């Protein structure tokens, strides 16, 4: 069996019983369970949710996206070996740490397989909650061009690339298209200020203005928990993205939870601490793959310029990357997951068949 055969590239074709279309994102696919299957699992597994909560199976793939495109490798390698299992293992670790330390719950109810979560439907807060401890990436590129105000926050002059900021900055952006908010364009992923959120909290799907402070508290506390744990492993938590949503528990109480994924090399920048002390940035996150792509193609502006999206999509579609590149990305993800969790990451030779077997025999979700 080749390494390419072990990669789960297509994750939206599982025969899971559902009444709804499968939602397939860049990396994860979501199968909404039928009402009867949701109620049955809640009862059988004793999940701490309302009895009529809507549940879903979330299956992660090994696909890799960067610059809003999916990339593939030579020899039919349509993903990164171990990437999905690594991302899930890292998120599982942080979500458990958050819960154990009394921060907040997550949307995950059960983990049937390393590539699978059973989750409850949440009402998402329509914000990509981004926080930054260092000035780098897109913020640095804008700063270098003279921009000094980010999401309503003024930065001083004379900052240097990759410099640590004096405090953790929260620089939110829209999650999806938000209509009717003055001063905020109705497009996805546009920067917003805290004032925008306060004055239009219901448009961003907050239940009340007090929850704006709660989301910021959970964001900062979550960042600090991950940052401290990574520091013990010789890693620097540079910046990351959190997402939040509302669910109702078994007692009928609405609560704000963490959702999506947290503290992963897909959603965060993570640097090697000893290299940083020597003045060199060594990425242990997807940023290393982004930098590789920028150096691999002769015209990196295609990857950075949103006005050239058609060219970018053609670039991704028409160019298979060397297998060695995807193997190196695999090494970064797997080693980081094993370092964070303290456990060997076990990868399946037949991931799709294993998932189908478990969901059929242990959860009764496949006929």
| DSSP assignment of 131-190 | EEEE--HHHHHHHHTT--EETTEEPPSS--TTPEEEEEEE--EESS---S-TTS-SSSS-
Q: In DSSP terms, which residues pair with 164 in a beta bridge?
A: 134
Instruction: Give the mean model confidence (pLDDT) for residues 321-343.
Output: 95
Q: What is the pLDDT of residue 1?
A: 58
What structural domains and CATH numbers belong to the chain? 3-122+344-361 (3.30.200.20), 123-277 (3.30.470.20)
The pLDDT of 278-304, averaged and rounded, is 93
Angstrom distance (rounded) from CA 205 to CA 50: 20
Spatial CA neighbour of 17 closest among 40, 1, 51 = 40
Q: What is the pTM of this model?
A: 0.95
Which residue in 320, 318, 365 sits closest to 15, CA to CA? 365
For residue 314, what are its two tokens? 């053609």
Q: What pLDDT, in 10s, does the model give residues 292-311?
A: 999 999 999 999 998 999 99
> Tokens 């409850």 correspond to what residue?
120
In this prediction, residue 180 has a pLDDT band, given cuts at 50, 70 and 90, of confident
The whole-angstrom separation of Cα 50 and Cα 32 is: 16
What pLDDT is recorded for position 5? 76
Please, is 215 exposed, middle or buried when counting C-beta atoms within 10 Å of its C-beta (0-12, 13-18, 19+)?
buried
b/e sequence 172-198, b meaning 16+ C-beta within 10 Å: bbbbeebeebeebeeeeeebbbeebbe
Q: How confident is the model at residue 208 (pLDDT cuts 50, 70, 90)?
A: very high
The per-residue pLDDT for range 128-164, each reduced to its tens digit, is 999 999 999 989 999 999 999 999 999 999 999 999 9
Confidence of residue 314 (pLDDT cuts 50, 70, 90): very high
Q: What does pLDDT average to over the chain?
A: 95
Asked whether residue 43 carries a pLDDT value surpassing 70, the answer given is yes
């Amino acid at each position: 069996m080749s390494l390419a055969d072990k990669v789960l590239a297509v994750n939206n074709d599982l025969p899971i019983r559902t009444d709804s279309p499968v939602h397939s994102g860049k990396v994860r696919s979501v199968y909404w369970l039928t009402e009867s299957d949701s109620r049955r699992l809640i009862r059988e597994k004793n999940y701490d949710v309302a009895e009529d909560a809507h549940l879903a199976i979330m299956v992660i793939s090994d696909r890799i996206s960067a610059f809003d495109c999916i990339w593939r490798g030579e020899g039919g390698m349509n993903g990164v070996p171990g990437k999905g299992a690594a991302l899930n293992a890292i998120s599982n670790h942080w979500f458990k740490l958050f819960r154990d330390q009394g921060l907040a719950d997550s949307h995950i109810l059960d983990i049937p397989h390393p590539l699978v979560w059973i989750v409850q439907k949440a009402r998402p807060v329509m914000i990509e909650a981004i926080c930054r401890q260092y000035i780098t990436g897109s913020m640095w590129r804008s700063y270098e061009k003279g921009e000094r105000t980010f999401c309503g926050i003024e930065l001083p002059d004379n900052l240097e690339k990759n410099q640590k900021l004096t405090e953790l900055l929260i620089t939110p952006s829209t999650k999806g298209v938000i209509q009717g908010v003055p001063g905020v364009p109705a497009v996805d992923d546009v920067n917003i200020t805290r004032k925008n959120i306060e004055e239009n909290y219901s448009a961003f799907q907050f239940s009340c203005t007090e929850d704006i402070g709660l989301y910021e508290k959970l964001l900062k506390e979550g960042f600090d928990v991950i940052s401290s744990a990574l520091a013990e492993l010789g890693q620097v938590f540079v910046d990351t993205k959190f997402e939040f949503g509302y669910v109702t528990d078994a007692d009928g109480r609405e609560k704000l939870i963490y959702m999506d994924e947290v503290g992963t090399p897909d959603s965060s920048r993570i640097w090697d601490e000893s290299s940083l002390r020597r003045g060199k940035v060594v990425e242990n996150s997807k940023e290393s793959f982004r930098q590789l792509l920028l150096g691999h193609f002769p015209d990196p502006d295609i990857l950075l310029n949103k006005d050239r999206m058609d060219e970018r999509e053609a670039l991704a579609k028409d160019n298979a990357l060397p297998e060695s590149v995807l193997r190196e990305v695999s090494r970064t993800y797997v080693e980081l997951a094993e370092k964070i969790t303290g456990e060997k990451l076990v990868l399946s030779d037949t991931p799709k068949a294993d998932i189908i077997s478990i969901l059929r025999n242990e959860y009764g979700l496949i006929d």
